[in-house]
Structure 1
């Protein structure tokens, strides 16, 4: 049996930060010409200055969510057998996934269709919720392995995992796995994760290693803390080169992606591993806000993009509307209406 662990507030913050960056990135897509190709409402005037930070985020914003989700399974499995864990993840992930596909996603696409004067139709597709479908699949696929590691934590296999990830050389195994995935999947664009086999297998790898990182204990976190400045420096160098060259190999992107992720893990572990009232609220709100944010983003785009105001002001208004609308919907409806809570991944007994 895995021992009880101290609450890891930094991992809670990682989830909140990752989802916050995802919302920010999605708002930015509305100001890029290619946004319409992936189903977004886009402004008539692009804001090209957004692209450099977007392309920096794009190589690691989704993979880090998969890592963090794998970490979450480690904590969830501590006091549960495999049946209990599968039931808990079905309630928390699969039910909101199906509900979102049937209700939230069709609503947001009705807004898109209305904006572009398309024929109105019902579209029950995963859209931005594809991530939840992948996570549930990973739980099902990896649960036997995770449960094996749980009941054998004092034996040789787990000892080897802990030893490997107590050294920066162990991280080379992680990077190598991502490189092999990129070579085998051969994605058209590395950053196209949604509903692709590349995104599925990349997420599976990240999910597994996220579990292993937390399983490895303090030795892993102290190691990345020690080497954080090297990770950051190398990530910046690779990003600068990619920005200059415009297009680099998937091999290099896989390396850069992991370096950013290791850097974020280290700095958040150092500075944010403590409780706060803000974190307590945001950690509960992040998941429901993620589910509904696209609806509020499209509503904001619908009303703001036709206005004759500077593009920078449009961005600010759309960003504020998306965040405020999503959090208000969480605070006054999702959080307070008991029967709605499970549909957005919240426990019914915690008003």
Structure 2
């Protein structure tokens, strides 16, 4: 397996941002979440949107890149078995053990449920929970939907390896020509734009796997593209060389999208000029969104290649820890918020305690229990330790 430190580091950073993102979901106004604070702010929507446009596309692309770097072509069906087990075990364990506290706090705060957790858990394992016309289908995977999607995507990739490998060989190691560079810039944006125009108005995002056409249309092609581009050295040199320009385009595009969104919520006083009423603002916003998503991904890959492709001492530890942190973090966020919200400590104190408590909880549970307990490791996506091996200690700063 080829070791790409920049991809490993980018994966750690992308998963770490989920703690901030899901913690902010407690406080962002007008967005649904499992639990909501009494302190909510509309302005949080804007940095959340800027992050949300590329956070999951980045993770799916990184997953495809990791498979391309793993050299699975000669052992793909054996790999299919091991990868299926490594994804299904954490998903099943998460749905049965990790996720239920999230749903418990949700039904307490949103449905007025007054029973204890034991009674709730029996309902959770049954046919679902309904109150006042609102129903939750349980057991559910909540934030673990990424694992549920990654499994069929991986199996599809393994089935199409001959075609994808042919595409990768055609790209080669040379930098893209002017024509191929233009296509590499334009085609993903056009595809994402088609999704926004034709699928998004008709199919809501559900994260329920079988009917989530918008998410599949956005995520699966990027996952497969990550595999194709993984070993194309010319692409990575090209992305690194264009990182400033892609960053500039991405910032301009998200500025347009957020600016139009803000004007939509805060229209100027007085009648709209005739020319403004004829401008297709919704179309411009969708173009800006699609452009931002792809150019932000290119900028992230370029900058990570330039700055992160080195063997940081913290990277091996964090690369192993990131999976268990991902599984744990949202349950800790919801549980901490459910405990803190009734205290009315103030927005800043409450948010700080939720974020810091989640980080501390993930660290303590991973370091003190999960990585040191053989039977727990596969339930959190960690490889089994060799019998003679001991867990690596926490990294220390370089003197």
Q: Same fold (TM over 0.5)?
A: yes
1:144-165 deviations in Å (ceiling 9; x for gaps): 2225545x5xxxx433333797
Shift in Å, 1:261: 1.0
SS of aligned partner of 2:39:
coil
Task: Determine if the alignment matches structure 1 residue 215 to structure 2 residue 234.
Answer: no
Cα distance in 2 for residues equivalent to 1:149 and 1:209 = 9
Query: Unpaired segments of 5 or more residues in structure 1?
Result: none
RMSD: 2.2
1:211-266 deviations in Å (ceiling 9; x for gaps): 112132x2111101111111111111111111111064433312211111111111
Higher normalized helix content (fraction of residues): 1
Task: Determine if the alignment matches structure 1 residue 98 to structure 2 residue 114.
Answer: no
Bigger mean CA offset, 333-342 vs 244-253: 244-253
Distance 1:182 1:166, change over 3 A: same
Shift in Å, 1:187: 4.3
Cα distance in 1 for residues equivalent to 2:17 and 2:291 = 20
Shift in Å, 1:180: 2.8
* 1:287 matched residue in structure 2: 323
Whether the 8 Å contact between 1:96 and 1:343 is mirrored in structure 2 is yes
1:46-76 deviations in Å (ceiling 9; x for gaps): 1334222111111111111110011111123
Shift in Å, 1:80: 4.7
Cα distance in 2 for residues equivalent to 1:323 and 1:180 = 39
SS of aligned partner of 2:61:
helix
* 1:180 matched residue in structure 2: 194
Total equivalences in the alignment: 338
TM-score, length basis structure 1: 0.89
Shift in Å, 1:79: 6.8
Task: Determine if the alignment matches structure 1 residue 326 to structure 2 residue 385.
Answer: no
* 2:222 matched residue in structure 1: 206
* 1:159 matched residue in structure 2: 169
* 1:237 matched residue in structure 2: 252
- Runs of 4 or more, structure 1, over 4 Å off, are 147-150, 187-190
TM-score, length basis structure 2: 0.79
Cα distance in 1 for residues equivalent to 2:34 and 2:70 = 35
Cα distance in 2 for residues equivalent to 1:135 and 1:57 = 21
Whether the 8 Å contact between 2:39 and 2:346 is mirrored in structure 1 is no
